[in-house]
Structure 1
Amino acid sequence: ITTNLEEAQKLFEIAAKKNLVLHIGHVERFNGAVQELRKIADNPYLIESRRVGPFNPNFAKDSIILDLMIHDIDIIVNMVNADVVEIQASGSRVYSELPDYAAVNIRFDGNTTAQIVVSRVTQKKDRIMSISQKDAFITLDYTSQDINIYRNAQSQHVFGNKELHYRNEYILERLFVYKDNPLKQEIKHFIDCINGTVKRVVTVEHELKSLKIALKIDDMLTKGIGAEEVRI
């Protein structure tokens, strides 16, 4: 586990020098719904993610950004092929010495915006993401591994019984998802990489970019910086 960019870069350098496989434990990459999302996400302009759950004192000393939000950052960076140009971050403590919840806006070059909420002090566990793009609205549930696509939305006002009613119609497509244990799939991928039958699913640059964004957000929360222009 690394808590800074220098340590992460050093690990990748050691792995490359010794011709070893270095695998980063982002288990959500192997969620069945996320696997399908990679096939249908197409230049999204708004990504909204919510990862919340009840308080567990065993994790009170952990950063919610590096423990929770890093998974959503990783998936979003994989969808948006552009630099981050602005970050807005807010959060606060409830039970811990570190922030227990955070709300973050990430703006990418090209005006894609990602809104991420994480919390370890919410009474109901929720792991969801939605993606808005020109031709579709996509919803994803990490827990159930379900993914739905809404298309061709139309709205109109109609008269009925002398009253005006509003009607919204759309086409709903429920994708078939191969649902398996993401951790099992992650370990299998790691073993396959070691055996040389497959290549790592993401690049070193991608891994470092996700960590760099997470560390920047963590630093902003620690210092109370609400917004900052960046180039990551």
Structure 2
Amino acid sequence: MKTIRTGVIGVGYLGRFHAHKYAAMEGVELVGVADPDDKRAQLVAGECTCRAFADAAGLLQHGVDAVSVVAPTSLHYDIGTYCLQAGIDVLMEKPITVTLAEADGLLNLAQAHGCILQVGHLERFNPAVLTMEPLLTHPLFIEAHRLAVFKDRGTDVDVVLDLMIHDIDLILAMVNAPLETIHTVGAPVITGLTDIANARLIFTNGCTANVTASRISMDNSRRLRIFQPGHYISLDFAKKEVMTVQMQQLENGTIPQPDIHRHRVQDQDALELEIRDFVTAVRTRNPPRVPGQAGRQALALALQIVEQINLHRGRVEESLHQSARGVAPFPASS
């Protein structure tokens, strides 16, 4: 079996975990890590017994087959372009890029150079999601809540591109139908970008998804409920729990007891599964579980949601300005 030579570009909080997974994986050599923060690069390189580089150019000069790009989103396009033009396979952290034009550019480069381009939508590899997938029949209504305590990390983008995009990707994969309408609301609370958002997505096959994301909550919570004919599936991402609740029709005005079944979820590491999937794609040249096109689709919907929220936000800000000028939000009754 050929040894896959890998590298990690960007070894902040998440990139460090990528480096550790590669370093521990059989059939894989972690050549090095790259980060403009030399102290951080040296620290992670020491932990993983590999070389440290200041940038992607230094890493690629030492011969790698594949890299994880775990840099800020604003750098994804430039770093991805550099790597793909060099014929290097790329696992790009989500979101794939800032704009759709950039995403299309990376997709075209990957195709032109015969490269694997995978996007790091980690929840696709959550063992609870893998357990839930065979239970899907015909989703009628989906409810997703992704709430997080505020952290400085990830604030270069708003909550839609930081957190909600996980559920957007999952829902698009589950429903597999064109989107018909979108209704959104959201607001900035403690940053200059949207910190809490809700989107109601209606698909052409009749399925509706209600998606809420917040990064200013008191507690962390990541839950998903999928209502299907006769039952619903409840999934807890953090606890890795899946249960189905079988609902019976009313009989003579009485409410029957629901039949609850808790499904066994394997204790697996989602990031390790994601990186193994990437390495397998690199080795076999088969498509990964989350190809670049899936990342592009999730970004497209996320940007639609962001655009609608920004329009709504403009109206909210105008209302706040009116309040500051002493203009009553409601006319006085006569």
Q: Does the pair score TM above 0.5?
A: yes
Q: Secondary structure at the match of 1:102?
A: strand
With a CA cutoff of 8 Å and minimum separation of 6, indicate the structure with the bigger relative contact order.
1
* Counterpart in the other structure of 2:151: 56
Ranges in structure 2 where 5+ consecutive residues have no aligned partner = 1-75, 77-96, 315-334
* Alignment RMSD: 2.0
| Conservation of the 8 A alpha-carbon contact between 1:60 and 1:97 | no
Q: How does 1:194-209 map to 2 (within 5 A)?
A: 194-196=282-284, 198-202=286-290, 204-209=292-297
Ranges in structure 1 where 5+ consecutive residues have no aligned partner = 159-165, 227-232
The number of equivalent residue pairs is: 219
**TM-score normalized with structure 1 length:** 0.87
Higher strand share: 1
* Counterpart in the other structure of 1:130: 225
The amino acid of 2:212's aligned partner reads V
Offset at 1:57?
A: 2.9
The amino acid of 1:216's aligned partner reads Q
* Counterpart in the other structure of 2:269: 181
Offset at 1:199?
A: 3.1
Q: Secondary structure at the match of 1:57?
A: coil
* Counterpart in the other structure of 1:12: 107
Structure 1 residues 181 and 54 mapped into 2: Cα distance closer, same or farther (>3 Å)? same
1:83 matches 2:178: yes
Equivalent of 2:203 in 96, 108, 112: 108
Once residues 156 and 99 of structure 2 are traced to their aligned partners in structure 1, the CA distance between those partners, rounded to angstroms, is 17
Instruction: Provide Cα deviations, 1:37-82, integer angstroms capped at 9, x if missing partner.
Output: 2211111110000000111134334211111011100000001021
* Counterpart in the other structure of 2:122: 27
The amino acid of 1:146's aligned partner reads E
Q: Secondary structure at the match of 1:24?
A: strand
Once residues 138 and 62 of structure 1 are traced to their aligned partners in structure 2, the CA distance between those partners, rounded to angstroms, is 31
Between the aligned residues of both structures, percent identity stands at 29
| Conservation of the 8 A alpha-carbon contact between 2:181 and 2:203 | yes
The amino acid of 1:5's aligned partner reads L
Higher helix share: 2
Once residues 175 and 193 of structure 1 are traced to their aligned partners in structure 2, the CA distance between those partners, rounded to angstroms, is 29
Offset at 1:167?
A: 5.2
Once residues 11 and 197 of structure 1 are traced to their aligned partners in structure 2, the CA distance between those partners, rounded to angstroms, is 18
| Conservation of the 8 A alpha-carbon contact between 1:33 and 1:141 | yes
| Conservation of the 8 A alpha-carbon contact between 1:55 and 1:122 | yes
Once residues 27 and 77 of structure 1 are traced to their aligned partners in structure 2, the CA distance between those partners, rounded to angstroms, is 15
